Every structure is written in C-alpha cells, then in structure tokens.
Structure 1
C-alpha cells in the first residue's frame, strides 16, 4: 500500500511506532466496531418495521446527506482550529446522538421517522467531523510515515467493518436491538478517551492573515479545479460511492428476501464485506517485487467491483452471496484507498482540510443519491435486478478507463510525486499534472 520512494516507503506498520497514532488507531478501531454494529442495526430495524427498501435507502441518505452542507465548514474548521479538540467535540456530539437512539429504542418508541431524524443529526456532526479526522491522521506521524498511517487507518476501519456486523448479528439474535444500540453508544466513549491523550507529532502553523469563508474556499476550489489528478480521483470516488456503496445498507434486504436467513446470516453477509477489505489490506502490506500503479489498481478494482455486484444479482444461496460480498469488499477498498491516497499525497498541508472536505461533500452526496436510487429500484424491480444494473454500470466505467489509459494514468502522478520525495506540502497545481501525455509511473 505504500508508495515507493525514499521518503515515503518504510515498514507498513511504521506509523504505530508513534504513541499518538497508536492510541488514536486503537481507539478508532474499537469505536468504529461499535459504529458498524449500529450501521447494521439501523437498516435491520427499519426493514423489520416498514418492509420497504426505500426506508433503508432513506436512512443511508440521512446519514450522509448533511455532509453536502456541513463539509465546507468542517474543512475550514479543520484548517483553522486544533484538529484534536475539534474531534473531541464532534465525537462527543455524535455519541450523544447514539445515546438518544438507544433511549428511543429502549423506551419502546420505535418510530422510523424519529430514527431517521436522529440519523440526520448524526450526519450533521459527521460532516464537521470527517475532514478533521482525515487530516489528523497526517498530523500524528512524520511525513515519511504518512502512507503507513493512511493504510493503517483504512485497515482499522475495515477490521471494524468485519467485526462490527458479526457482533450485531449475534446481539440482534440473542439480546435484541436495544443492546445493539447501547453498545454503539458506549463505543464513542473509547475514542473520546483516546483523543484526550493523543498529541500531534507535528502541528500546522495558521496563516498570518486569515481570509473570509468564501475567499478561503475559493482558494481551495481553484487549486482542486487546476489539478486534473485530484479532480479525477474525486470524480471516481463519486462513481464508486453512488454505484457500489448501497450494497452496505442493502445486505438486510438480500438476507430477508433472497437468502431467507436469520440475523446471524445477515451479520455474516455484512461482515463478509469487511472481511474482503481486510484481506485486501493485509495483502497490500506484503512486500512486492513490482509495485502496482494507481491506474492499474483503479481499473482492476472497479472491474472486480462490477463483477462482484453482478454476482450478487445472480446467486441465490447465502454461501454464494458471502463469496460475492468478500469480492466486493476487497475491490471496494482497492479502488477507494487508491483515490484517497492520491488526494492525501497531492493536497497541500494548508489546504488539506478543505480539499478533504470537498471530497467528503461530493462523495457523501453521491452515496445519498445512490442509496435513494437503490431503494427505489429495489422496491420496483427487486434487489437482485437492482445490483445487476449497478454492477453493469461499474463495468461500463471500468471499460471507459481501460479505453482511455491517459485518463487513468493521471492518478499515477501522485505516486511519482511521492517517489520523488516532493509530497504535497509545497506542491502547486501544475506539479500534479503528468509531465508527458499518458505518463504511467508506478508507486
């Protein structure tokens, strides 16, 4: 997963040598496990209450939609304030919403509309939280260990995505939804405590003269628009978010209507998505004789993602569905980790929070739109037909990238920049363009 080059390559676990990152990583792993436990519980109880896939899609839209409005402010705050303190406040607020969900369900007030409202409020805080979270990962390690930190951050997220749903299946089958909501709420305390003891390895010096909100975002927007690799990476995030992310909330529909399984089977199916990501992440930590270019990883990742979703639309047994889910999880991480690495490597330090916020804003919008679309199509055509269509659209996107190699090769400029040891700290937009048409440097 690390780029090649003297300043960025090292041991894959090098970032864990730094106490602040190790604390942050451990707290995030435990907290995200609780979050993924909740992410399966919410669509499960909504589908059990309403019998409609549209409500499941609406829940995902409520969770990600507010980022469209709040991420610009979140990015500006991440570039202007102490990121650790900002995260403390946003995580405590999100924890408060999780407690409200638990109280709602434990009191017997099983209102889908109220649950959607609470998800929307959580999405508001998440829009402020995400840019600071992604930016803080870079602050906790020296620049030479940034790619190790980014990779390990993806690894903990996907470990949580594998373990959380499996725990949810067991809890839903044994203790019920109330306890699942409780453990999700309690998990926020873990990351809050870890943030209290985390200290940044390096801090960002605020600009001597701070411009207004519009001027600062105009600066970030101009940089982003001037960099074709950054624009392509953000656009591909949106494609994958809209066409593939719905699978993470629709597993409950597959389990209920296609595989006719119980909550344990549902937990295994959802956990298989995280397991595939973990397997890919671990494989990426192994040494390679020849590194894989960003362009090739993108082409293969999106292709396999499309194949996996088409397989979900064809197979009728739980075993086949789990195999397809493992494939989807691995391919999803292959694609998204590539796009995120490009953005992290090419975003300048002083603009990183805003550029990551822009990425989160458009990605969340695409996820919300994709979730609503998948919900409507599922109610109209069935869940398998829906994912046949979405998988076919992903294969079409992959074919376009294969037929226009110069476009995909733009992503490799990030790897070349890292290999040269320039990073993004002092990069200008022109530094993110390939020096020759169709340049295909590798990581």
Structure 2
C-alpha cells in the first residue's frame, strides 16, 4: 500500500507534457480566435512571399536581384523598429495591430493592381514590397508582445510555440498552393489572394475582447526610450544570447528561402509546382517540431532546444547544398524547417519570459531588428556569392560555418553562455 502511494506521489510530481499540454493556450478564447485569423492571413502572405522572388528571378535570372528585393522588404524593420517597440509599450496593441494590418492589406492590394496593369520592372516590385515592409516594421513588436496579452504567463511557452506553429504551418501550405497557382492561373491570382487573406486577421482582431494592460506614458523621445531598452539588454545575458543566436540564424539560414528559387531554376531546372513543394518542406519540418516545443518544455530546456536546432540547421543546409535531386533537397529542407523552429521559438520564448513587462515591446523590437535586419545582409551577401561561386558552394559554406558556431556555443562556458537562455523572469 505504501509503495503504491509513493508511486502515485511520484507520478503527481511529474511535470505535465504531451500533446494536450502543448495545446493549452487554445483554452483561451481570444488566443484561439487570433490564432485562426493569423494562420489564414499568413498562408496568404506566403503566396506573395513565393510569388515575388519567383517573378523577379524569371525576369532577371539573378540571385542578387532576388536578394535585393528581399532586402528591401526587411530594411524598414530596422528603421522603424524603435518606433514600433515604443508603440507596443505605450498604446493598445490590438489597435496598433489593426491599423498596421490594414496598411499591409492595402499595400498587397496595390502590388496586385500594379502587376495586373502589366508592370514587370523589378524596381517597381521592390518599391511596393518596401511599402509593405514599412507597415510590417511597425507591426512586429506589437504582434510579438500581443501574445503575452492573450494568455497567462504559465501558458506563455505554449502560446509562443503555437504562434510559431501557425506561421510555419502557413509556410507549409502557402508555398504549395502558390506553386499550384503559378503553374496554372498565374502570379496575379496569388497576389490577389494574399491581399484578400488580410480580412481574416482583421476580423479576428475586431472580435477580440482583450485590451492591453494600461501603461504610464513616458514623456521621453522614441530614441531615448529605445536606448533604455538597449541598456537594459546589456544587463541581461539571457536576452543577449537570444539576440546572438537570432543574428546567426538570420545571416546564415534565412537566405535559404531565396535559394529554393535559385536551386529550382538554375540547379534542378524544375517548374513552380516543384518550387512550391520545396518551400512547403520547410513548413512540414516546423509542424513536426511544434509539439516538441510546447508539450515538452519542462523536459527539454530552452538552451538544449537551441543547441539541437543550431546543429540541425547546419546539417540540413549542408544536405540541401549537396542534394542530387529535388526529392533529396526537400528532405534536407524538412530538417532545416524542424531545426529552425526549434531555435527561433526557443530563443523567442526565452526573451519573452526573461524580459521585464514594462519593457517588453521595446526589447522585442530590438530582437526583431536584429533578426530581420540580418535578412537583407545575409540575402545580399549570399546572393552575390551565389552569382560568383555558384549556389551549391554558397549554401554549403553557410552550413559549415553554422556548424562551427553551434559547436563553439555548445562548449562555451563563459558568462555569456547558451545556458543563460534558461534564466527566470525579471520581475
């Protein structure tokens, strides 16, 4: 009898885990509504994310041009990140999101209208992508911070992981649908469906009951408030490590999204349908990773998940670079997608948990600026190298460099070490 009681006690002490535990954020009505609207809108967004580089490469046959267009999308995130972070901390995040998402919808509609009018100039496409990037730069800090408003802190890891899941599920479905649309009815329809998909997230935001917590207005200028967040980060090694990993991934891994277009056109010589499947493989890997993130967070630490993710991305990039066929390339991209979600979600959760509440928007803005700011740099550098050395050698070099970095971070025992990602909340 005593042994049975002891065994029951030990079972009761086991931390919750598994699928039901990973989905616990869905118990909150507002989060579930927002999640459905987000995945619908992001699926439409990936129609455009694949269509734009596809048509640019079709016109220019240059990996560098593809990188330039991608860069122009993310440059506003750097310039407007401080303002977006201050808005996220100062105002109702739901209202900020409604305004910025409306601006992104209008920008997407304008891109469709210009394309339908017969404009094929890469500079015109770049300019319109940049307009959308302006709204995106203001939007992202509030989007990331808003997740914290929808669930209690005990369910934050589930909410962050499921937020990453919806983005990557959209990345799985969207490119596959885009490939089918490009192969049948053309890019104009893909751009139009992207514009219409914003209605889902706008309706979701309009139906929410949650309001951001009231904040005391700060009379300081935007740049002074932003400087406060930078000084705060200097005293938080866990957040610093999250930024360092995000920068490495942004420089070395994220250009893979433009290289699927280059490999499809110049290496494998396949059409838009196969290109869509290659991009969908990245999302499939993320779908596999999501339960591991949200359901086993008490078993696998954030530092361990990040370590696994960095090594997995390095191996996946290397495998993609050496793939003899689209099938092998898709398999390698599943590994990249799996490992990418592990890394980004674990480091994002670490920052969300560690940061003090009154600085959340501004600190997340720094993270977003660091991460997305590396998109154009990595895309341009790797695009230029691909034009000079070839796409296989470029991706292989990125994979090997990331592997070296992963091994160094895994063995480093200094004050700024990978284990600082497991730091507790700064109350």
Same fold (TM over 0.5): yes
What pairs up with 1:254-273 in 2 under 5 angstroms?
254-273=263-282
Q: Which has the higher helix share?
A: 2
Is 1:57 aligned to 2:57, yes or no? Answer: no
Aligned residues of 1:141 and 1:149 also touching (Cα < 8 A): yes
Question: How many aligned residue pairs are there?
Answer: 411
3-state SS, counterpart of residue 109 of structure 1: coil
Aligned residues of 2:82 and 2:223 also touching (Cα < 8 A): no
What pairs up with 1:361-376 in 2 under 5 angstroms?
361-376=369-384
CA distance in 2, matches of 1:99, 1:403: 49
What pairs up with 1:311-322 in 2 under 5 angstroms?
311-322=319-330
3-state SS, counterpart of residue 66 of structure 1: helix
**What's the counterpart of residue 430 of structure 1?**
none
Aligned residues of 1:56 and 1:250 also touching (Cα < 8 A): no
3-state SS, counterpart of residue 59 of structure 1: helix
What pairs up with 1:274-289 in 2 under 5 angstroms?
274-287=283-296
Residue 55 of structure 2, aligned match among 36, 45, 54: 45
**What's the counterpart of residue 182 of structure 2?**
172
TM-score (norm 2): 0.93
- Show structure 1 runs of 5+ residues with no match: 418-422, 427-443
CA distance in 1, matches of 2:164, 2:60: 34
Report Cα offsets for 1:38-93 as digits up to 9, x if no partner. 10000000000111111111111111111111000000001011100111110010
Aligned residues of 2:242 and 2:421 also touching (Cα < 8 A): no
**What's the counterpart of residue 352 of structure 1?**
360
3-state SS, counterpart of residue 411 of structure 1: helix
Deviation of 1:336 (Å): 0.8
Report Cα offsets for 1:330-372 as digits up to 9, x if no partner. 1111111111011100111110000000111111211110010
CA distance in 1, matches of 2:174, 2:402: 27
3-state SS, counterpart of residue 220 of structure 2: coil
TM-score (norm 1): 0.89
What pairs up with 1:87-166 in 2 under 5 angstroms?
87-166=97-176
Question: For the aligned residues, what is the CA RMSD?
Answer: 1.8
Is 1:190 aligned to 2:200, yes or no? Answer: yes
Deviation of 1:408 (Å): 3.5
Deviation of 1:285 (Å): 4.4
CA distance in 2, matches of 1:189, 1:208: 32
Deviation of 1:208 (Å): 5.6
Change (3 A) 1:141 1:111: same
- Show structure 2 runs of 5+ residues with no match: 1-13
Residue 378 of structure 1, aligned match among 367, 386, 392: 386
CA distance in 2, matches of 1:262, 1:217: 46
Is 1:207 aligned to 2:216, yes or no? Answer: yes
Residue 338 of structure 1, aligned match among 333, 346, 357: 346
Aligned residues of 2:239 and 2:350 also touching (Cα < 8 A): yes
Change (3 A) 1:361 1:192: same
Aligned residues of 1:75 and 1:354 also touching (Cα < 8 A): yes
Aligned residues of 2:410 and 2:418 also touching (Cα < 8 A): no
